[in-house]
Amino acid sequence: MNIETLCVHSPKEDKNAHAYGAVSVPIFQTATFSHPGVGDTTGYDYSRQSNPTRTELEDCITALENAYDTVATSTGMAACLLVLELFNPGDHIISQEDIYGGSTRLFSTLGVERGRTFSYVDTTVAKNVINAINENTKAIFIETPSNPTMLVTDIREMSRIAKEHNLLLIVDNTFLSPYFQNPISLGADIVIHSATKYIAGHNDTLAGFICTANEELAEKIRFMYKTVGVSLAPFDSFLTLRGLKTLAIRMDRIQENAIKIANYLKTNKKITNVYYVGLPEHPGYEVNLSQARGFGGMISFTTDTAQTAKEAFEKIKIIKYAESLGGVESLITFPMYQTHADVPVEVRERLGITDKFIRFSVGIENADDLIKDLERALS
């Protein structure tokens, strides 16, 4: 099946879960399942471990990400935390320096408190990763494009390095979604999603995924998943599944809008830099083209002064000033004060995440309306 079809139909659709010919999978709002007899099961025992609504969602994502298995978690951060639990005290992880601020916070607090160590490097340069490897290194963690400065890391190259040194390659694929990029097909071992973003797509639910590339990893993750209980609730599974059905058309529209908006921003005299992987002058343009089917809808830009940026947040009308991304509504975020507030100041400054730096998640509205809104807010 092609990707657009996989967004709508689970390849493993369970006819029993679709009783009476229900086209939509019902919300199995139950904590537990009764058994036909001792030692017998319907296939479901307890919803922390598995639930038919969630299974249908997980099967869709497994197919879309070309994974061996997928678990749906309560949030994207729950997915990150569970993956971190694969590592023991003393283990070392090399992470892209520019990643979602919540992931940096997770690594630098809970990660370090449990004895794991981290090196943060610019993974767009393979040599930086190779130089950071030591005898305790167990994994490479990347986002590509990265949040919020849109750095593009070569997934195939990272996979080659990871295999050579017996490391796991973990890719947070939130920004491009499985519609545009499939890291497991490029050699990644684990894919993480904040499904709160493009996959659910409506700014109305929190969700996450861990996709694993092989049975061994899948078993480890499934065991921790049922033990810890970070499972996605049946209703949220339904909402995420409903959002997923329109992923393809939303991503196409969002990208079409993003290209127009990025080109408009380049012409605005108050904008000094535009970070969008769909612009041919973006340093990661070619690498992104070689590994993804699109550029997505995340744009960052810098303004001439901090005052221009502040006023833009106050003047926008259609676009909302809010944390998060990937929904049908366009949102702008001030990473320095919001998503990346916990990133050390020197790192933020090195990456250019300042009081002039704005992140824009392009929605599905009319592009001309969005441009007019920006024009007014930046005037």
Residues 109 to 148 in contact with ligand PLP, rule: CB under 6 A:
143, 147
Q: Which residue is nearest to ligand PLP (CB)?
A: 76
Q: Starting at the edge strand that comes first in sequence, how are the strands of the sheet with 331-333 ordered? A: 271-275, 298-303, 357-361, 331-333, 320-321
Quick check: 240 binds ligand PLP (CB under 6 A)?
no
**Cβ closer to ligand PLP: 356 or 359?**
359
Told to check if 174 binds ligand PLP by CB under 6 A, we report yes
- Interacting span for ligand PLP (CB under 6 A) from 22-30, 100-108, 152-160, 241-249: 100-108
Q: Does 194 bind ligand PLP (CB under 6 A)?
A: yes
Q: How far apart are CA 151 and CA 261, in angstroms?
A: 19
CA torsion angle for 231, 47, 21, 68 (degrees, to 10)?
50
**Size of interface with ligand PLP, in residues (CB under 6 A):** 15
DSSP state of 233: P
Stretch that binds ligand PLP, among 71-79, 106-114, 158-166, 289-297 (CB under 6 A): 71-79
Instruction: Give whichever of 87 and 100 is closer to ligand PLP, judged by the CB atom.
Output: 100
* Residue list 7-26, contact with ligand PLP (CB under 6 A): none
Under the criterion CB under 6 A, does residue 102 sit at the interface with ligand PLP? Answer: yes
Question: Given strand 69-73, what is the order of strands in its sheet?
Answer: 69-73, 208-212, 190-194, 168-172, 137-143, 92-96, 117-121
Q: Could you tell me which stretch among 28-36, 57-65, 69-77, 353-361 binds ligand PLP (CB under 6 A)?
A: 69-77
290 vs 297: CA distance, rounded Å: 18
Quick one: 264 or 275, whose CB is closer to ligand PLP? 275
Strand ranges inside 83-189, DSSP E: 92-96, 117-121, 137-143, 168-172
The conformation of residue 110, written as its DSSP 8-state character, comes to I
Among 172, 189, 236, 373, binds ligand PLP (CB under 6 A): 172
The Cα 303–Cα 230 span in angstroms is 40
Question: Do 136 and 88 contact (CB within 8 A), yes or no?
Answer: no
Which residues are paired to 168 by β-bridges? 139
Cβ nearer to ligand PLP, comparing 100 with 238: 100
Out of 50, 51, 55, 75, point to the residue binding ligand PLP (CB under 6 A): 75
> Applying CB under 6 A, does 243 fall inside the site for ligand PLP?
no
208 binds ligand PLP (CB under 6 A): yes
The H or E element spanning position 215 is helix 215-228
Q: Which two tokens stand for residue 57?
A: 């969602």
Given the complex with ligand PLP, which of 192 and 377 has the nearer CB atom? 192
Q: Which of 7, 60, 64, 77 binds ligand PLP (CB under 6 A)?
A: 77
Active centre residues (catalytic): 48, 100, 172, 197
Are 132 and 94 within 8 A, CB to CB?
Answer: yes
153 near ligand PLP (CB under 6 A): no
Q: Is the dihedral of CA 38, 44, 47, 49 positive or negative?
A: positive
Which of 49-57, 99-107, 226-234, 251-259 is the region at the interface with ligand PLP (rule: CB under 6 A)? 99-107
Candidates 146, 64, 102, 82; CA nearest to 342 is: 102
| Residue number with CB closer to ligand PLP (154 or 172) | 172
Among positions 62, 137, 177, 196, the unique one binding ligand PLP when judged by CB under 6 A: 196
Dist. CA 140–CA 373, nearest whole Å: 40
Integer Cα distance of 263 and 97 in angstroms: 27
Query: In the bound complex, what is the minimum distance in angstroms from residue 340's beta carbon to ligand PLP?
Result: 10
What is the distance between the alpha carbons of residues 50 and 64, in angstroms, rounded to a whole number? 20
- Minimum CB distance to ligand PLP, residue 149 (Å): 12
Least Cβ distance, residue 26 to ligand PLP (angstroms) = 25
149 contributes a contact to ligand PLP by CB under 6 A:
no
Helix (H) or strand (E) holding 253: helix 247-267
Binding residues (CB under 6 A) for ligand PLP: these are 75-77, 100, 102-103, 143, 147, 172, 174, 194, 196, 206, 208, 339
